[in-house]
Chains A and B, each alone.
Chain A
Amino acid sequence: MYPEDLKYTKEHEWARLEGTRVRVGITQFAAERLSDVVFIELPAQGVRVKQLEAFGVIESVKAVSDLYAPISGTVVEVNPALGGHPELVNEDPYGQGWMLLIEPAESGEFKSLLSVDDYRRLIGEPAN
């Protein structure tokens, strides 16, 4: 449910290092808590995002929440599927439900994110 190879934020985003870039989405915990995602507002390609500042908005039937950037950098790719199929975030939060691919501005930020054990502790699940 919480992949070992990912880093996490306390706002329930995940970050995966892919070469020099970082792919970003929200965790299964967040997807389940939101449930029934109906709309996601994401930045355009080329936009600069800042660590732990809001980069977008996610709406479920019942609520609206901000999305926070795990790291600072430039958006190089935005998941084009989420516009028409926001439910992918519920169905496959670590796969087809990814949101952004970011070119990091500095390398230190990624390492400062939560490990899977830290994240599990945060949401009250026993560490592996």
Chain B
Amino acid sequence: MAETTDLLHRTPLHARHLELGARMVPFAGWDMPVQYRGILEEHRAVRERAGLFDVSHMGELLVEGEAALGALQHLVPNDVARLAVGHGLYTPMCNPHGGIVDDLIILRVQPEQYLMVVNAATHAKDLAWIEEHAGAATVRDISREMALLALQGPAASTILRRLTTAPVDEMRPFDVLPEAVVAGRRMLLSRTGYTGENGFELGPAWDEAPNLWDALLEAGASSGVVPVGLGARDTLRLEAGLMLYGNDIDDATSPLEAPLAWTVKWDKGDFVGREVLLRQREQAPPRKLVGFSVEGRAVARHGYPLLHQGTRAGAVTSGTFGPTLQMSIGMGYLPFALAKEAQEGSLSVEIRERAVPIRVMRLPFYRRAA
């Protein structure tokens, strides 16, 4: 690996991860915990109890001013105009070819202030892209001022209630309180996550992250909360059918090829990429991402060929053994017609020079009980 540990960025929780005995890996230029006790154990904790994640490596950008809404409406296909203060949404951000620059969350924290939470790997690219297209709006990078912790799982609300008087139970998905008081400190609190479970993300000041981390682990101890690394974050999001930027979507895939058509609002006015996407909608996009299960337990990994009648037709973008589903699952792109109606038994994935049958499955693979 080209990255050496010295050159990697550290989150404010780096020392905590080392104390907890985490296995650290370089991820998007950051030294991050991939696991503490084990991916399967951490995955199970999030599905059954609660898990605490350090996601401070993610980028936070503030878009502000009278021109903020107009800039965001131009930048993303989802409809930012429908956001009341205290609400947020998920959206891709497209290039003029309909490809995806990044996928992100936009939270309206003040009437004329929006917080964009972007991927660590695309942080610099996003910032340049947004500044270029922001017009008169002000863009402020607060990534090193705000840490980000995610508390996810069925016990997340119970644990959080022990540390705050904020109306945790009244928050709906994507609601945000920009100035909640949690464990005695003021911070951003949103009902968001990347696991398919109920959960929250908390954005304290950078230096206050260790206090919050300790408080959440302590308040959650009786509920069985555990720290969770990037390994389980990936298996959890994949079971939940959520896209991983750089794997499942990128500059060359469109939201209509990915299962993100629901984020494209055609009636909101013009936005970057609309023309190409409109053409794709009328003529069908060239490819379509499908979810699938693999026969047996072998894992279909990123880049493995997808075969139709034994001939290469596409490639795997993500795959894992789903710890909750107890089966091998994956996602990948196929030509549109095949993705829509390939004959039962005609599709397979090439694993170590062998064609292993796959079955197309509707996403998400896993949906939590209501």
A residues at B contact (CB < 8 Å): 35-36, 38-39, 41, 57, 59, 61-62, 64, 86-87
- 0 or 1 for each of B317-332: is its CB under 8 Å from A? (1 = yes): 0001101000010000
Q: How far is the CA of A38 from the CA of B352 in the complex (A)?
A: 16
* B39 and A57 form a contact (CB under 8 A): no
Show 10 residue pairs from A and B whose CB-CB distance is below 8 angstroms, ordered by the A residue: A36-B38, A36-B39, A36-B231, A38-B297, A38-B299, A38-B321, A59-B321, A61-B323, A62-B34, A86-B297
A105 to chain B: closest CB distance in Å? 25
Q: Specify which chain B residues have a CB less than 8 angstroms from the CB of A36 in the assembled complex.
A: 38-40, 231
Interface Cβ pair total, 8 Å cutoff: 39
Q: How far is the CA of A57 from the CA of B354 in the complex (A)?
A: 13
Q: How far is the CA of A41 from the CA of B356 in the complex (A)?
A: 13
* B297 and A39 form a contact (CB under 8 A): yes
B244 to chain A: closest CB distance in Å? 14
B residues at A contact (CB < 8 Å): 34-35, 38-40, 231, 235, 296-299, 301, 320-321, 323, 328, 352
Smallest CB gap from A66: residue in B: B352
Q: How far is the CA of A41 from the CA of B35 in the complex (A)?
A: 25
Q: Specify which chain A residues have a CB less than 8 angstroms from the CB of B301 in the assembled complex.
A: 64
Which one of B38, B235, B320 contacts A35 once the chains associate, using CB atoms below 8 Å? B38
* Additional A-B contacts beyond A39-B296, A59-B298, A61-B235 (16; CB < 8 A): A35-B35, A35-B38, A35-B39, A36-B39, A36-B40, A36-B231, A38-B297, A38-B321, A39-B298, A41-B298, A59-B299, A62-B39, A62-B231, A64-B299, A64-B301, A86-B297
Q: Specify which chain B residues have a CB less than 8 angstroms from the CB of A61 in the assembled complex.
A: 39-40, 231, 235, 299, 320-321, 323
Q: Specify which chain A residues have a CB less than 8 angstroms from the CB of B34 in the assembled complex.
A: 62
Q: How far is the CA of A62 from the CA of B34 in the complex (A)?
A: 10
